[in-house]
Amino acid sequence: MCAMAAATRPDAETLAEVGEFGLIERLRPIFDGGPDVLIGPGDDAAVLRIRTGHVVVSTDLMVAGRHFRSEWVSASDVGHRAAAENLSDINAMGGRATALTIGLAAPGDLPVSWALEFAQGFAEECAKVGATVVGGDLSGSETLTVAVTVLGACTVAPVVRSGAEPGDVVALCGRQGWSAAGLAVLGRGFRSPRALVEAYQRPEPPYDAGPIAADAGATAMIDVSDGLVADAGHLAAASDVAIELRTEALPVAEQLSAVASALGIDPMRFVLGGGEDHPLLATFAEAAAVPEGWRVIGSVTEGSGVTVDGSPYDGPSGWSHF
């Protein structure tokens, strides 16, 4: 009797047992449609109302074992992380996310409870910007993979990476290096400082900062997802300029210093090379245009590439996917 009862508990069910459409029916109540969703999950495609401005779209992938490890993050954490990295891309264009679709490829023995917890975490992160899930797809796969597409809107011209000009100042909004330090802690089998571990598990992008920067006249902007030096390099290359970063302007939290000291490294390695915090890096024509909450950390000059304190940076510059 006990074995039979355990086998029928909802938290013991697997995807193979409930099937694609059975899971969809359980996911549907988690993702309530917003006022701009005319047709949500359940049809061949979603239909959204676009009121004014520009439509912006981005897609990201998360692969188990490469982008996250189940022993370090819960299903809910994965949901928050998957949503955050996509919402931040729209933020970096100066826009606001409105709708997302999720593609989930998973082994048949994945517990249904994992999928539902993931969905709940995803929905909670989307709620921070008023966005909602409007559809997606499910498939079997030996490797758990999450693919997300996000749609958003810009009420002013989108801020792209290619607009920086020599003479601009470079500014940062949001914490940087915390997630990398949290990953270093987890990688060595520890769970503290807790603030750093939680920063890795659930990043906190400055979601309001993108539209504010766009309204303030940001000339170029990028989401720092791979690393500060690496993403500054992407912005510099797109704008055909050089970027000079100044470490004296970059804050180093006490927790980062403590972890770096324990590991025998410079804490600036976390700040310059760490990814997945999703702060925004932007350029402005002058320091007076930089909005409150942003910190000027460098300048734009003629040339190419990124320098740190006047010299090429020889440390890890950021995440490489291959």
pLDDT of 166: 98
Q: What is the DSSP string of 247-264?
A: GGGS---HHHHHHHHHHT
**What's the average model confidence in pLDDT over 182-197?**
94
- Predicted structure pTM score: 0.87
| Rounded Cα distance, 214 and 154, in Å | 9
DSSP label of 174: S
Min mean pLDDT across 38-52, 154-168, 269-283 is at 38-52
DSSP H stretches of helix in the chain? 2-8, 15-27, 75-91, 112-127, 178-187, 194-201, 209-215, 228-239, 254-263, 268-273
Min mean pLDDT across 12-26, 41-55, 119-133, 137-151 is at 41-55
Phi then psi for residue 274, to 5 deg, are -80, 145
- Residue 3: is its pLDDT beyond 50? no
The string of pLDDT tens digits covering residues 163-178 is 999 999 999 999 999 9
Cis peptide before 193 (omega within 30 of 0): yes
Q: Which residues on neighbouring strands pair with residue 223, listed in sequence order? A: 280
The string of pLDDT tens digits covering residues 269-279 is 999 999 999 99
Mean of per-residue pLDDT scores for the chain:
90
- Residue 309: is its pLDDT beyond 50? yes
Q: Which residues contact 122 (CB under 8 A, 6 or more apart)?
A: 79, 80, 82, 83, 102, 133
| Rounded Cα distance, 279 and 282, in Å | 10
| Rounded Cα distance, 18 and 112, in Å | 8
pLDDT of 49: 73
- Residue 24: is its pLDDT beyond 80? no
Q: Is there a contact between 174 and 206 (Cβ–Cβ < 8 Å)?
A: yes
As assigned by CATH, the class of the 14-154 domain is: alpha beta
Which of residues 37 and 303 earns the better pLDDT score? 303
Q: Which pLDDT band, with edges at 50, 70 and 90, does 63 fall under? A: very high
> Element (H or E) spanning 153, and its range?
strand 145-154
**What's the average model confidence in pLDDT over 220-228?**
96
Q: Is there a contact between 16 and 115 (Cβ–Cβ < 8 Å)?
A: no
The string of pLDDT tens digits covering residues 278-306 is 999 999 999 999 999 999 999 999 999 99
pLDDT of 8: 47
pLDDT of 126: 97
As assigned by CATH, the class of the 161-312 domain is: alpha beta
Q: Which pLDDT band, with edges at 50, 70 and 90, does 42 fall under? A: low
Residue with tokens 């997945």: 276
Q: Where in the chain is the domain with CATH 3.30.1330.10?
A: 14-154
Number of H helices, E strands in the chain: 10, 13
**What's the average model confidence in pLDDT over 186-201?**
94
pLDDT of 317: 74
The string of pLDDT tens digits covering residues 85-106 is 999 999 999 999 999 999 999 9
pLDDT of 19: 83
Phi then psi for residue 287, to 5 deg, are -65, -30
